Amino acid sequence: MAVTLNRITREGEYGPAMMPVIQGVGRAAIEIAYLLRSAVFRGALGAAGVENVQGEQQQKLDILSDEIFLDEMRSTGHVCAVGSEEQEELLVIDEYASADYLVLVDPLDGSSNLDVDGPVGTIFSVVKRKSPNDQRPDVSDTLQSGREVLAAGYVLYGPSTMLVCSVGAGVSGYTYNANNARFEVSHPDMSIPQSGGYYSVNEGNSSQWMHGIADKLVSVRHTQKLGMRYVGAMVADMHRTILKGGVFLYPADAKNTNGKLRLLYEAIPMGFLMEQAGGKAHTGEQPVLDVQPEALHQRVPVYLGAHASVDALIS
């Protein structure tokens, strides 16, 4: 009998409570995967002609994926609000404004890969509200460090559709089985190799990096015998790093002085997963999960990977 997402209900303290939310993520993933595969025939590729709060050109699929994700979070009945990369403000789900949980999401990470048929993903984390249930949730409910995260994960839309997640009791990967119309466990107990693998970074920015990162990287890739891979979608680069070892990094640079990646819906969920997979997640100044968020779309530098690789870059 195949093991499905229901396995999560037996994982750790928060598995049972997180199950409905993660099942909602699974439903959204199936809908988004279908949308991606049929987009070219529906005129859904390309830019939407508007900029998001990040100052980035929104792709039509960014907007459609965001709508799908919000609808599925609403249908769980357990989510009171969603903070999305694609929405400037926190989206309160009015019908469930008294529910316990908030979800932070990058609904379609790496969407610049879409026009070249490259891998993209969805990244999410779940926190429990701090405000009383009889109050309307607000953005302060989202400003919690990664140590408060109850669940986090990503969906990778590649040759297969994978959902990788953790409720604080290790990391497991589930692959969508179209024959049974469900996710089935394919990568139980994912753990990052502590040697070998790849370094993964946009070296096009290396002339603008600070803190001697370029020189450290030359040394690390030589002494630790790391190959180089960079997909340009955090989900794909992180997935390979957890499976094969090494380090993914997006340092601060002269253009992005606080780094490019967003703390609440990219760095924290990925940092949570990396620590749960036995790796290290750091900003160069502190562990990612110790950062106290101050704004919904705040950015941070990230160094995520095997301890030896991260330590060599941040020391």
Please, what is the minimum distance in Å from the beta carbon of residue 151 to ligand P6P? Answer: 20
Q: Does 257 bind ligand P6P (CB under 6 A)?
A: no
Close Cβ partners of 123 (under 8 Å, ≥ 6 residues apart): 105, 106, 109, 153, 154, 234, 235, 265, 266, 269, 270
The window from 32-40, 172-180, 228-236, 278-286 that contacts ligand P6P (CB under 6 A) reads 228-236
> In terms of Cα–Cα distance, which of 166, 168, 183, 56 is closest to 108?
56
String of contacts with ligand P6P for each residue 82-121, x by CB under 6 A: ---------------------------xx-x---------
String of contacts with ligand P6P for each residue 237-256, x by CB under 6 A: x-------------------
Taking the CB of residue 223, how many other CB atoms lie within 10 A of it?
Answer: 10
Q: How do beta strands 280-282 and 91-92 pair?
A: unpaired
The window from 133-141, 146-154, 184-192, 227-235 that contacts ligand P6P (CB under 6 A) reads 227-235
Please, what is the minimum distance in Å from the beta carbon of residue 206 to ligand P6P? Answer: 12
Q: Which lies closer to ligand P6P via its Cβ, residue 261 or residue 312?
A: 261
Q: Does 145 bind ligand P6P (CB under 6 A)?
A: no
Q: Does 234 bind ligand P6P (CB under 6 A)?
A: yes
Long-range CB contact pairs, 127-130, < 8 A, 24+: 127/101, 127/102, 128/100, 128/101, 128/102, 129/80, 129/100, 129/101, 129/102
The window from 11-19, 74-82, 160-168, 231-239 that contacts ligand P6P (CB under 6 A) reads 231-239
Give the residue, chosen from 232, 290, 308, 311, that forms a contact with ligand P6P under the rule CB under 6 A. 232
Cα–Cα distance between 296 and 121 in angstroms, integer? 20
Q: Which lies closer to ligand P6P via its Cβ, residue 145 or residue 256?
A: 256
Taking the CB of residue 17, how many other CB atoms lie within 10 A of it?
Answer: 17
Q: Does 233 bind ligand P6P (CB under 6 A)?
A: yes
Which H, E and C letters describe 150-201, residue by residue? Answer: CEEEEEEECCCEEEEEECCCCCEEEEEECCCCEEEEEECCCCCCCCCCEEEC
Please, what is the minimum distance in Å from the beta carbon of residue 84 to ligand P6P? Answer: 14
Please, what is the minimum distance in Å from the beta carbon of residue 113 to ligand P6P? Answer: 8
Q: Which lies closer to ligand P6P via its Cβ, residue 17 or residue 39?
A: 39
Show the tokens assigned to 268. 């924290």
3-state secondary structure of 232: coil
Taking the CB of residue 246, how many other CB atoms lie within 10 A of it?
Answer: 32
Cα–Cα distance between 128 and 166 in angstroms, integer? 16
Please, what is the minimum distance in Å from the beta carbon of residue 233 to ligand P6P? Answer: 5
Give the residue, chosen from 202, 206, 208, 298, that forms a contact with ligand P6P under the rule CB under 6 A. 202
Please, what is the minimum distance in Å from the beta carbon of residue 188 to ligand P6P? Answer: 26
Q: Does 12 bind ligand P6P (CB under 6 A)?
A: no
| CA angle in degrees (0–180, nearest 5) for 213-305-190 | 170
